[in-house]
Amino acid sequence: MRNRLNIPALVGLLALVLAGGCDRGDSLTLSSETDDPFYRQGQQLSKQGRNQEALNAYLKVIAKRDETAPESHLEVGLILLRHVKDPIAAIYHFRKYLELQPNSRQAVYVRGLIDTAKREFARTLPATPLESQADTLEKQDQIDRLLRENDLLKAELSAFRSGGPAPSVRSRANLETDSTVTPPLITITAPPPAPIVDDSPISPAPLAASQEEAAPLIQAVPLSAPTRPAGSKPATATAAGRRHTVAKGDTLFSLAQKFYSNRAKWRDIYAANRDVLPNEAALKPGMQLKIP
């Protein structure tokens, strides 16, 4: 009777020992991710530059080990970021690594990789709208023009006070950019000599010129056009109703610069061609545009 009671107990104890041994064996097998054959295969393929095959090998490790493959997640993220150019998927695997190994020595490095992937994704987003770019360019042109006018007015005032010719003035914008453009000179003509008083009893004939013409005048000489740097192309003069066939690479900005030497004039071209341009980005090669 006592032997019959001990046999089932021994059988149960043996089963527990075997189960514990299997569990420990599995635990030992899964504890070393870097010894996994697929992980080793991925390492070798990566060294050979066979990134897609290495990616498949690391994904097999992840599928096999589930939540115990942090290194494979890191390797997959690196391949997705650097070679596949999929920053969103790379971020997922980097975060999975941090979730499994939050206190590892590579945690700071992996967080930096996440920031890099975010920047790469931001580069794929649409650029700033044309309207904002045009406003910025137009404001910059206005600032440069006002600075040039301010410098020229100062030179003119100084020359007028001293009675001599106005010096050559470079605008502040040209000084900052070290441009080779020579600004125009403002020349002030000297007043006509005073009439000679004659004491002769014979009255001289009246002058034909009016009092306004006889009075001293300051005549401004028209400003000469600034010289262009060597190699630059002059703006194309256009007559009313001229048309332009859009070529590959043309934009509203480049056309405004070509025909008006001012990229902010793109609005005029766009407004004159609203019948063929539903929006600013609809420019296509072969289109016939009216240049106002």
Within a domain: 152: yes
User: CA neighbours within 13 Å on the CB side: how many for 133?
Assistant: 12
184 and 152 fall within a common domain: yes
Picking from 171, 189, 207, the residue at the C-terminal end of a domain is: 189
99 and 152 fall within a common domain: no
106 and 145 fall within a common domain: no
Q: Token pair for residue 66?
A: 């589930």
Within a domain: 109: yes
Q: How many domains does the chain have?
A: 3
Cα distances from 171 to residues 145, 157, 160, 178, 229, in angstroms, run 9, 15, 19, 10, 16
Instruction: Give 12-27 pLDDT, tens digit per residue.
Output: 666 565 555 444 444 4
Within a domain: 226: no
DSSP states of 217-271: --PBPPPPPPPPPTTPPPPPP--TTEEEE--TT--HHHHHHHHHS-GGGHHHHHH
Distance CA 255, CA 269 (A): 8
Within a domain: 232: no
Three-class SS state of 291: strand
Question: pTM higher than 0.85, yes or no?
Answer: no
CATH number (domain holding residue 50)? 1.25.40.10
Within a domain: 203: no
Picking from 101, 123, 145, the residue at the C-terminal end of a domain is: 123
Identity of residue 268: D
Say what the pLDDT of residue 213 is. Answer: 46
Picking from 123, 138, 153, the residue at the C-terminal end of a domain is: 123
Segments of the chain scoring below 70 in pLDDT: 1-31, 127-135, 164-241
162 and 150 fall within a common domain: yes
Give the domain extent around 283: 242-291
Within a domain: 149: yes
Within a domain: 40: yes
Within a domain: 235: no
Q: Tell the residue number behind the tokens 């650029």, with chain if given.
A: 127
47 and 79 fall within a common domain: yes
